[in-house]
Structure 1
Amino acid sequence: MPLSEPAAREPIHTREVTCRGFRRADGLWDIEGHLTDVKAYEFTTEQRGQILPGDPVHGMWIRLTVDDSLTVRAVEAVTEKSPYRTCGAVLPNFQRLVGLKIATGWTRAVKERLGGVQGCTHLVELLGPVATTAFQTIYPILAREQAAKAKSGETGEAMLSTKRPVLLNTCHIFDSNGEVVRKNWPDHYTGGTEKAAEAAD
């Protein structure tokens, strides 16, 4: 269900964020983010001059190349549009992401390396949805392939349900006491009287 009918209003600002994930032929993954900020009115900036309605104030791209473990192997960042001519001067700092793993602590690690004057506010913000997109791109494919191998007997690893799911307790749907976990990852289900008793021991 969409939002309710709004009050009478006029458009002022639109931010669009697009993230896309790709599997590369060399076995790595490219995760790309694109951010634009657009005003509905004309205005003038000190360095760029006149900006017309629809002309992005900010237009920025970032590509993270990661491996199966979600470790960053390469970074490319581009400032296509910005209000100041020197905004792009900070882009080399984004190479500091190489070697980081997209996992718990990602946001903190990014801010340690690129926070404040060390980075670009908008590109740093973009790294949040890019990280989520990396997970959404990679995890389902690898999980499906691992399940297929286990089913066919190609691997001696335990079935997926015996490993702690990455999604466990990340939101209310994946609550370890909930029905989704009970059905999909019974080894990690903590709801119900029997499981609760086991957990208490």
Structure 2
Amino acid sequence: MPLSTPAARAPIHTRKVTCEGFRRTDGMWDIEGHITDVKSYPFHTEERGPMEPGDPIHQMWMRLTVDDQLTVHAVEAVTEHSPYRACPSITPRFQALVGLRIGPGWTRAVKDRLGGAQGCTHLVELLGPMATTAFQTVFPILTREKADKAKAEGRNVQDRKERPVLLNMCHIFSSDGEVVRKHWPDHYTGDRAADEAAE
């Protein structure tokens, strides 16, 4: 079991986020996100009236179409269920993402354009896991194809001097860590002397 056994408890709220990545036949990539919120108990809302357990309070969808560099070329945002009738009116604002690149500064750029009253909290939150999904969709395929091409041309499969996309994006890819020292030594910033002494 991944977590320890919990105390006795009753379910109250469930949020589900699903993200998927797709390669399109035109060479672009679609990254889709879906978010739902449901309660385990009946309650009443001002605009939607009675809600039964499992009825979606929020159900929203987002599609980002990106290129190989993760630059956003198209956005589609849909609010299917929400507490207020006016909630879907904000979805056209998400066109502000067109032209942005998923990478360093993405979160700040999203908040600058769509934070607070400029956007929808739930759709903005969905963009975080969608960005991660974009990385995990696009880069493994491009890396594999690059390696296959290099192998076919008789070149080294991995150019260790090229800056890794993942460098410093997570503690495991820290520039002074073991993974970088082993796989991308030209980008290693740790104490080489201490490492050699320890070996």
Structure 1 length normalisation: TM-score? Answer: 0.91
Most deviating of 111-120 and 144-153 = 144-153
Q: CA RMSD in A?
A: 1.9
8 Å CA contact 1:189–1:195 kept in 2: the answer is no
Cα drift, residue 154 of structure 1: 7.7
What's the counterpart of residue 188 of structure 1?
187
Secondary structure of the 1:57 match is strand
Secondary structure of the 2:112 match is helix
User: What is the alpha-carbon distance in structure 2 between the residues aligned to residue 56 and residue 85 of structure 1?
Assistant: 14
User: Match for 1:98: what amino acid?
Assistant: V
Cα drift, residue 77 of structure 1: 0.4
Deviations 1:149-168 (A, max 9, x none): 1222288x994321111111
Cα drift, residue 195 of structure 1: 9.4
Cα drift, residue 144 of structure 1: 1.2
What's the counterpart of residue 74 of structure 2?
74
Cα drift, residue 183 of structure 1: 2.4
Q: Alignment length, in residue pairs?
A: 195
What's the counterpart of residue 179 of structure 1?
178
What's the counterpart of residue 109 of structure 1?
109
Deviations 1:35-80 (A, max 9, x none): 0001000011100111110011000000000000100000000001
Structure 2's unaligned 5+ residue stretches are none
Report the identity percentage.
Answer: 70
What's the counterpart of residue 162 of structure 2?
163
What's the counterpart of residue 42 of structure 1?
42
Structure 2 length normalisation: TM-score? Answer: 0.92
User: What is the alpha-carbon distance in structure 2 between the residues aligned to residue 46 and residue 26 of structure 1?
Assistant: 45
Alignment of 1:96 onto 2:103: no
User: What is the alpha-carbon distance in structure 1 between the residues aligned to residue 61 and residue 79 of structure 2?
Assistant: 7
Secondary structure of the 1:26 match is coil
What's the counterpart of residue 83 of structure 1?
83
